[in-house]
């Protein structure tokens, strides 16, 4: 397995032995998604664990008024998954869609289980990733209630500038819980400070 393989950035040699990497990396399958293609559609069960090698994607739900509301954004190196659907084996309520052409690395549910139960370092990384995802989700849900929209925008700008630079403002606005017009005003106010 070549040292410059994309997945070597995900599974670092400081955490995994060469033998473990030789087992893990070949289990992944490279899949390309054209812009606007669905990685996961509402009503289907998440059967894959994905890492993005290139491109951008977003997850969203359709609200009661029929509008789609962004729930997360994914970029290079991110894991793309609906954890609840994946682990509980139930249909998802979210859609995950490629916003640009994307190249992803896919691991199916059964192979994930095999690696999770068979390789301690894979299991530990999986647990850490799941816990970090939970913390991010919790932080986002509290911020939607307790923080001003401008604070939420500044946090996104500080922590994920690549999202602000590459994702349409209409998707960012729904993620932040504001209208496009409000987001434009917030951006204008911040740039004039």
Q: What is the pLDDT of residue 29?
A: 96
Whether 61 and 151 share a structural domain: no
CA angle 139, 143, 144 (to 5 degrees): 120
Whether 93 and 156 share a structural domain: no
**Number of residues written out for the chain:** 193
Query: Could you give the 3-state DSSP secondary structure of residue 31?
Result: strand
Q: What is the pLDDT of residue 10?
A: 87
Whether 13 and 108 share a structural domain: yes
Whether 11 and 26 share a structural domain: yes
Q: What is the pLDDT of residue 3?
A: 56
Residue 99 has which token pair?
A: 């916003």
Beta-ladder partners of 46: none
Whether 79 and 161 share a structural domain: no
Would you say residue 23 lies in a domain?
Answer: yes
C-alpha–C-alpha distance, residues 189 and 173, integer Å: 15
Q: What is the CATH number of the domain that holds 25?
A: 2.60.120.10
Would you say residue 83 lies in a domain?
Answer: yes
Kindly report, residue by residue over 70-87, the tens digit of the pLDDT: 999 999 999 999 999 999
Judge whether residue 2 has pLDDT over 60: no
Would you say residue 170 lies in a domain?
Answer: yes
What is the number of domains present in the chain?
A: 2
Whether 154 and 99 share a structural domain: no
Whether 124 and 46 share a structural domain: yes
Whether 140 and 191 share a structural domain: no
Whether 154 and 119 share a structural domain: no
Whether 25 and 69 share a structural domain: yes
Would you say residue 2 lies in a domain?
Answer: no
Kindly report, residue by residue over 41-68, the tens digit of the pLDDT: 999 999 999 999 999 999 999 999 999 9
Domain that holds residue 192: 147-193
Would you say residue 1 lies in a domain?
Answer: no
DSSP secondary structure, 131-170, as one string? HHHHHHHHHHHHHHHHS-HHHHHHHHHHH-HHHHHHS-HH
Whether 133 and 162 share a structural domain: no
| pLDDT mean over 107-127 | 94
Kindly report, residue by residue over 136-171, the tens digit of the pLDDT: 989 998 998 999 999 999 999 999 999 999 999 999
């Amino acid at each position: 397995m070549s040292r410059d393989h994309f997945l070597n950035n995900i599974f670092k040699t400081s955490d995994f032995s060469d033998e473990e990497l030789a087992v893990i990396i070949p289990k992944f399958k490279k899949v390309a998604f054209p812009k606007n293609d669905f990685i996961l559609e509402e009503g289907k069960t998440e059967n894959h664990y994905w890492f993005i090698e290139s491109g951008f994607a977003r997850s969203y739900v359709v609200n009661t008024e029929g509008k789609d509301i962004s729930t997360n954004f994914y970029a290079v190196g991110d894991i793309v998954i609906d954890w609840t659907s994946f682990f509980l084996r139930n249909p998802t309520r979210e859609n995950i869609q490629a916003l640009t052409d994307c190249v992803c690395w896919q691991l199916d549910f059964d192979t994930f289980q095999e690696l999770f139960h068979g390789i301690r370092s894979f299991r530990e990384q999986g647990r850490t990733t799941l816990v970090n995802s939970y913390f991010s989700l919790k932080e986002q849900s509290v911020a939607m209630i307790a923080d001003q929209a401008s604070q939420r925008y500044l946090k996104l700008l500080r922590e994920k500038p690549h999202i602000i630079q590459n994702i349409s403002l209409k998707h960012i606005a729904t993620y932040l819980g504001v209208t496009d017009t409000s987001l434009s005003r917030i951006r204008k106010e911040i740039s004039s400070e």
